Amino acid sequence: MKESAKEYRDFFIQETGILFSKIKKWSNNLQLDWKSSTISITEETCGTYSIDKLILQSEQGEKIAEIIPIAAFILGAFGRIDINGAFDSITILYLKKGGPSMERTEYDMNNKPTITRTHYFYKGIDESDWYWIENRVSRKGHKIDEELFIDILRDISDYEFKCCA
Report which DSSP code applies to 159.
Answer: P
CATH number of the 3-94+127-164 domain: 3.30.920
Tell me the angle at which helices 146-157 and 3-29 cross, rounded to the nearest 10 degrees.
Answer: 80
Residue ranges per domain, the chain? 3-94+127-164
Residues 42, 128: Cα–Cα separation, whole Å: 25
Integer-rounded Cα Rg, in Å, for the chain is: 19
For 116-159, what is each residue's pLDDT tens digit? Answer: 888 888 999 999 999 999 877 678 999 999 999 999 999 999 88
For 99-112, what is each residue's pLDDT tens digit? Answer: 998 888 888 888 88
